[in-house]
């Protein structure tokens, strides 16, 4: 539902009860003391303090968004195990599971700030505090930087890895295109015999479809999970056309369609009161065996301006950065395309804050897990930048990675000369939109005063 103010943006006072002490994840056994608990907003969290603590803290913003009504008590412990490299490097670590599943960037940013406050209340103020965001958590962490990362504030720097940094109002356009292109070819989501609904909804609010059911429909239409020789001619043509038009890799086709189904439903029905934040009017689709037929037959729709406003206020970035930000992104990321980084740089350039940004890129092919050597290298490069004031370069970050690879042995794959193309080179632009302007502070303040602005916590 939509509320009159973005209540998730105001952190509550942290819980005051001493956190319970669980067993640490296996990777941190005998290396740290771990704590879990639940804050006053209902968000579960996990904290780790290494035996040889360097005095600084990494606050983690996880990706997703996961879908569900409440906070997941296991999520932050799982994240702690996944990012044990930070603790192994001597940093304390704190992560929130967020107070509920589903979309809500400002809500997640507030819960991330809450766990930082809780850490301070229990363990004292760290020497330095860094926020780390992964995937959609990159957007969350970037929002933390803008909301709480003022100079001489509680955060000293940010590390954004594999970040979804184009914001919600334009960052999911390629999934909008996938949703309509898929239905044009497959006609099974929904089937003609099922209740019909506009595709911008992702899925009917009362649908009982499961992820298993969605995969079955995708397989029925495209044979995506089968070997090439086992697909029918029609399945192969459908698959070829969908991939060519949307530029989505086959290995992540199902996950993108899942997002364009279930997460779109969450955004539309649970966060925006049934209003449509998406448009594909005027988009020209190309790359299929018959582009004229595709463009004549694909479903078209226009966004509700109030829905765009609310989604943009919640998740788009303004570029108001005042602390060092280092990013790490695989060039062949199949989930958050590397062009998200071009969108983020354009946003900071529009706000005249790109001096705070260093972007690094690797020749890896993954989204969720890059090299531990690179993660250790990245947090150290950020820390050195903050402590000394000497801004690193992509080349200097790449050169220092070998030191950490002697410990972790997971490889260093940097390409210091890489620069991503514009976001519009990968994702079909909506007619009438500019390349990537930063949301002005004046506009953001005006939106925050309007009745109905915001996504409910």
Say yes or no to pLDDT of 211 above 50: yes
User: Sign of torsion, CA 99 105 107 112?
Assistant: positive
- Segment 37-46 shows an average pLDDT of 93
For residue 443, the model assigns a pLDDT of 46
What distance lies between CA 78 and its chain's CA centroid? Answer: 17
355 CB contacts (<8 Å, ≥6 apart)? Answer: none
The count of C-alpha atoms lying within 13 angstroms of the C-alpha of 263, restricted to the half-sphere facing its C-beta, is 20
Signed CA dihedral, 43, 58, 149, 350: sign only? negative
pLDDT mean over 39-65: 95
Report which of residues 269 and 10 the model is more confident about: 269
pLDDT band for position 224 (cuts 50, 70, 90): very high
Q: Give the pLDDT band (50/70/90) at residue 16.
A: very low
Sorted by where each starts, the structural domains of the chain and their CATH numbers stand as 7-168+313-449 (3.40.50.1820), 173-304 (no CATH)
pLDDT tens digits for range 98-121: 999 999 999 999 999 999 999 999
* Residues 312 and 439 sit within 8 Å (Cβ to Cβ): yes
Residue 131, beta-bridge partner list: 59, 158
Of the candidates 125, 410, 456, which has an alpha carbon nearest to the alpha carbon of residue 272? 456
Q: How confident is the model at residue 14 (pLDDT cuts 50, 70, 90)?
A: low
Exposed / middle / buried, residue 434 (Cβ in 10 Å: 0-12, 13-18, 19+): exposed
The confidence band for 320, taking pLDDT boundaries of 50, 70 and 90, is: very high
The kind and range of the H/E element at 148 are helix 136-148
Indicate the average pLDDT of the chain: 91
Rounded mean pLDDT, 238-250: 97
User: Is-above-0.85 flag for pTM?
Assistant: yes
Half-sphere exposure of 57 (CA within 13 A, CB side): 27
Provide the pLDDT confidence category of residue 15 given band limits of 50, 70 and 90: low
Paired strand residues for 115: none
Calculate the alpha carbon distances from 271 to 1, 3, 146 in Å.
5, 9, 22
The answer on pLDDT for 391 being more than 80 is yes
Q: What is the pLDDT of residue 149?
A: 85
Model pLDDT for residues 119-160, shown as the tens digit of each residue: 999 999 999 999 999 999 999 999 999 999 888 889 999 999
**For the segment 82-91, what is each residue's pLDDT rounded down to a tens digit?**
999 999 999 9
Query: Using CA atoms, how far apart are residues 232 and 394, in angstroms rounded to an integer?
Result: 46
pLDDT band at 410 (very low <50, low <70, confident <90, very high): very high
Task: Compute the residue count for the chain.
Answer: 457
What Cα–Cα distance (Å) separates residue 407 from each residue in 89, 132, 377, 402, 410? 11, 22, 11, 9, 9
pLDDT value at 445 more than 60: no
Please give the share of the chain, as a percent, with pLDDT higher than 70: 91
Amino acid 152: pLDDT: 84
| In the chain, % of residues over pLDDT 90 | 85
pLDDT at 10: 52
Say which range, 11-25, 37-51, 186-200, has the weakest mean pLDDT.
11-25
pLDDT at residue 19, rounded to an integer: 66
- Confidence at 429, pLDDT banded by 50, 70, 90: confident
């Amino acid at each position: 539902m939509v509320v009159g103010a973005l209540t998730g943006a105001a952190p509550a006072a942290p819980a005051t009860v001493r956190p319970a002490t669980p067993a640490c994840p296996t990777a941190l056994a005998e290396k740290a003391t771990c704590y879990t608990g639940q804050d006053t907003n209902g968000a579960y969290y996990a904290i780790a303090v290494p035996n040889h603590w360097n005095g600084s803290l990494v606050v983690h913003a996880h990706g997703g968004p996961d879908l569900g009504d409440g906070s997941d008590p296991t999520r932050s412990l799982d994240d702690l195990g996944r990012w044990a490299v930070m603790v192994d490097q001597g940093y304390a670590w704190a992560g929130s599971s967020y107070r509920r599943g589903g979309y809500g960037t400002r809500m997640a940013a507030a819960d991330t700030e809450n766990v930082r406050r809780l850490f301070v209340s229990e363990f004292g103020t760290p020497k330095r505090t860094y926020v780390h965001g992964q995937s959609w958590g990159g957007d969350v962490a970037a929002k933390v930087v803008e909301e709480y990362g003022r100079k001489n504030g509680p955060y000293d720097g940010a590390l954004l890895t594999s970040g979804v940094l184009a914001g919600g109002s334009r960052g999911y356009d390629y999934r909008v295109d996938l949703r309509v292109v898929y239905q044009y070819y497959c006609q099974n989501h929904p089937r003609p015999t099922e209740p019909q609904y506009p595709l911008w909804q992702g899925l009917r609010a009362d649908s009982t479809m499961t992820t298993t059911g969605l995969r079955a429909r995708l397989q029925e239409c495209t044979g995506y999970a089968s070997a090439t020789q086992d697909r029918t001619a029609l399945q192969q043509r459908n698959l070829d056309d969908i991939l060519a038009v949307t530029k989505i890799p086959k290995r992540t086709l199902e996950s993108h369609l899942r997002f364009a189904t279930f997460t779109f439903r969450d955004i539309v029905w649970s966060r925006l009161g049934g209003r449509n934040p998406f448009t594909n009017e005027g988009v020209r689709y190309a790359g299929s065996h018959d582009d004229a037929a595709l463009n004549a037959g694909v479903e078209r729709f226009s966004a509700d301006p109030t829905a765009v406003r609310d989604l943009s206020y919640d998740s788009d970035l303004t570029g108001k950065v005042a602390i060092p930000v280092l990013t790490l992104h695989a060039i062949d990321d199949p989930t958050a395309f590397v062009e998200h980084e071009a969108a983020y740089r354009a946003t900071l350039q529009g706000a005249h804050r790109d001096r705070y940004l260093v972007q690094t890129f690797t020749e890896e092919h993954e989204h969720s897990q890059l090299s531990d050597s690179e993660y250790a290298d990245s947090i150290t490069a950020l820390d050195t930048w903050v402590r000394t004031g000497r801004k690193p370069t992509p080349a200097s970050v790449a050169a220092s990675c070998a030191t950490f690879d002697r410990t972790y042995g997971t490889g260093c794959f940097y390409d210091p000369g890489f620069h991503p193309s514009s976001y519009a080179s990968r994702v079909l632009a909506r007619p009438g939109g500019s390349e990537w302007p930063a949301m002005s502070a004046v506009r953001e303040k005006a939106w925050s005063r309007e009745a109905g602005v915001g996504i409910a916590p």
